Amino acid sequence: MTHQFPTLSEAQKRELHETALRIVSPGKGILAADESVGSMAKRLAQVGVENAEENRRQYRQILFSADDRINGCIGGVIFFHETLYQHTDNGVPFVKLIRDRGILVGVKVDKGVVPLAGTCGETTTQGLDGLSERCAQYKKDGAVFAKWRCVLKISEANPSKLAITENANVLARYSSICQQHGIVPVIEPEVLPDGDHDLRRCQYVTEKVLAAVYKAMSDHHVYLEGTLLKPNMVTPGHSCSIKYSPEEVAMATVTAIRRTVPPAVTGIAFLSGGQSEEEASINLNAINNCPLAKPWILTFSFGRALQASALRAWRGHKENEKAATEQFIKRAEINSLACRGKYTGGDNHGEAGQRVYGSSHAY
Amino acid sequence: MTHQFPSLSPEQKKELSDIAQRIVAPGKGILAADESTGTMGKRLQKINVENTEENRRCFRELLFSSNPSIANSVGGVIFFHETLYQKSDSGKLFPQVVKEKGIVVGIKVDKGTAGLNGTDGETTTQGLDGLSERCAQYKKDGCDFAKWRCVLKISDGCPSALAIAENANVLARYASICQQNGLVPIVEPEILPDGAHDLQRCQYVTEKVLAAVYKALSDHHVYLEGTLLKPNMVTAGHSCTKKFTPQEVGMATVTALRRTVPASVPGICFLSGGQSEEEASLNLNAINQVPLHRPWKLTFSYGRALQASALAAWQGKAANKGAAQEAFCNRAKINGLASKGEYKPSGSADQASMQSLYTASYVY
């Protein structure tokens, strides 16, 4: 590490940093509408809708035709490749529809997970081949940010050292390539909630994974101010018998990121994983009320946690479209409050008023 | 990294965290009075004083018995081993003198640098052997924090990947051992200012070194909330022809730290390196005025930059003790203000010092 060689000019750095700031402007988060064709199949099957391109188009149209109420709640939308080139019923490109509202367009650029041989079912993520050219094209087509998802899991033997280093490395390569094209990389090292591990174990693993991610970012000369992080919140595994409060989830999450994510990272937009819409909002709210100093913006990048109710309201019927859009707007507004720590809703939240966060030393 | 195994109990963590917070309480920094015997020889030679144990005791006595108000600016003092067991004129052990002022006692625990074969004159630092037992003893003898200095340099081929990785690793081992014994480790990865490199080069190298340090600390399961960092400020090399303002030094330094030092580290106490007393204070002040979010305390851990005037005023003569102490107290007070960004140098109010001189368009 003796000499610095040129990576980004001052103008390029400024562009990336400003884009990142705009995506996570106070009160705003990200709508993750980048479900692959395969993932959409699962979603549509749940409401009895056929997984046809036209149905996928109509469903995204429901989200994108939300009115001005979402302008103050959504800073960016992540698109799947196919959706980037689709139009509304009136022939308006989705990209234009979104951009004209002052919302930034992002695109999922990874090509899914592939197994790591010799591990216990672990994966890395592919998509680096020709990524530079693809990014250049996406930039021309209106995208200013990208997203790449890596996946790790917790079990007796996992995550292994190989899985951690390999995924961190591939995230750093992706980031480096994006930035060369004026595209802000959203970095997603998801630690899955599958399993019966407790909160503490998830926190430990999340800290190790994030430390590796940021070392890789440094090694690959990534400009941190021009990136966003999309991590899991620190939660117990799905089959864990112990129940934790949102404040405990918040304290564990904020402690983990304070120990690993450099203050230079512009914003952290949490994924919702398997959480319900309400759970995700309440946890995000608790995170923003956690009494530890938090030098980054803490917001959302939700898929299911923004769309579940809308999907259910739609069920593929044209007459339900407006109602479905309303459901989406409602969740967007709630999460806008949550990312400012101002969400007071939630029915099973115990008594309002003082929340007990506990001491940071115990984490 | 599958399972967590016990390293520290919640009580141990709280103790370490509380100690660290006390050392870098608002307006306070560290007096680095841990010069080895050899280094003290150099300092004393400059004022024509013989390097005897008594003279070393005399000078430290001068510093430690200063006005108790010194505790408003000094949160901790780093001792050298010999000094820990010396006594004041009134027969009180120095650690006790310092503690009675409400100042935390620390101890240098490394045993100096050792060459890294196959590199261009680079080093690592030794001192891990029996460190655990030594830490336990130091804790009994009144210490609550420790310090370990690693050294890197900038040149055409340096710092090498080996130097960065080896020094980061040894700092993490030291930190881990300290915490087991209730001592807050001050982690010092000094990048020397020797050379003709510019500010940008120093910033780049500092970022790489600190990224490696914090990865090593994570790998070694070190509890960051119970540590302190003692880095170099980001400055141009001594022989660099271009001059940079304190504002530029401040911006480059804070940018580097924001990119590498986790927010959970409670405090960053800069070393002064080759800087003059005034330079070190002005730079620290500028650092605390940088318009970027700084989630850690940014303060001082100064040796020469706190003691130079006192040493010069003393000249080894008892009659000069008062004047020397005043000089020391003055620098301590100034640096206390600088650690809050409130130092307003009086006298030569040159036009430049009042204006912000860093180039706003330069993206660091």
Number of A/B CB contacts below 8 angstroms equals 109
A13 classed as catalytic: no
| DSSP conformation letters of B259-317 | TTS-TT--EEEE--TT--HHHHHHHHHHHTT-SS---SEEEEEESHHHHHHHHHHHTT-
Contacts of B293 in chain A (CB under 8 A): 263, 295
Determine if the peptide bond prior to A246 is cis (ω within 30°).
no
Distance between CA atoms of B271 and B119, rounded to whole angstroms? 25
pLDDT in tens, A78-112: 999 999 999 999 999 999 999 999 999 999 999 99
pTM of the prediction? 0.93
Distance between CA atoms of B82 and B52, rounded to whole angstroms? 12
pLDDT in tens, A230-255: 999 999 999 999 999 999 999 999 99
CA–CA min distance A217, chain B (Å):
9
The pLDDT value recorded for residue A346 is: 64
Which residues numbered 159-218 in B keep a CB inside 8 Å of some CB on A?
159-161, 164, 200-201, 204-205, 207-209, 211-212, 214-215, 218
A230 classed as catalytic: yes
Query: With the C-alpha atoms ordered A96, A98, A103, A106, is the resulting torsion angle positive or negative?
Result: negative
pLDDT at A363 over 90: no
Confidence of residue A1 (pLDDT cuts 50, 70, 90): low
pLDDT at A347 over 80: no
pLDDT at A352 over 80: no
pLDDT in tens, A134-166: 999 999 999 999 999 999 999 999 999 999 999
Distance between CA atoms of A331 and B190, rounded to whole angstroms? 50
Distance between CA atoms of A152 and A74, rounded to whole angstroms? 28
Distance between CA atoms of A143 and A303, rounded to whole angstroms? 18
- Specify whether the CB–CB gap between A20 and A321 falls below 8 A: no
Q: Which of B61, B188, B248, B277 is catalytic?
A: B188
Contacts of A1 in chain B (CB under 8 A): 159, 161, 164, 204-205, 208-209
Query: With the C-alpha atoms ordered A315, A317, A319, A325, is the resulting torsion angle positive or negative?
Result: positive
Phi and psi based region of residue A293 (left: phi greater than 0; alpha: psi -120 to 50; beta: remaining):
beta
Which residues numbered 73-132 in B keep a CB inside 8 Å of some CB on A?
none
Distance between CA atoms of A353 and B9, rounded to whole angstroms? 31
Inspect the interface and report whether the beta carbons of B264 and A255 lie closer than 8 Å. yes
Report mean pLDDT in 10-residue bins for chain B, 364 residues.
85 98 98 96 96 98 97 98 97 98 98 95 96 97 98 96 97 98 98 97 98 98 98 97 97 98 98 94 98 97 97 97 97 98 75 40 59
Inspect the interface and report whether the beta carbons of A211 and B255 lie closer than 8 Å. no
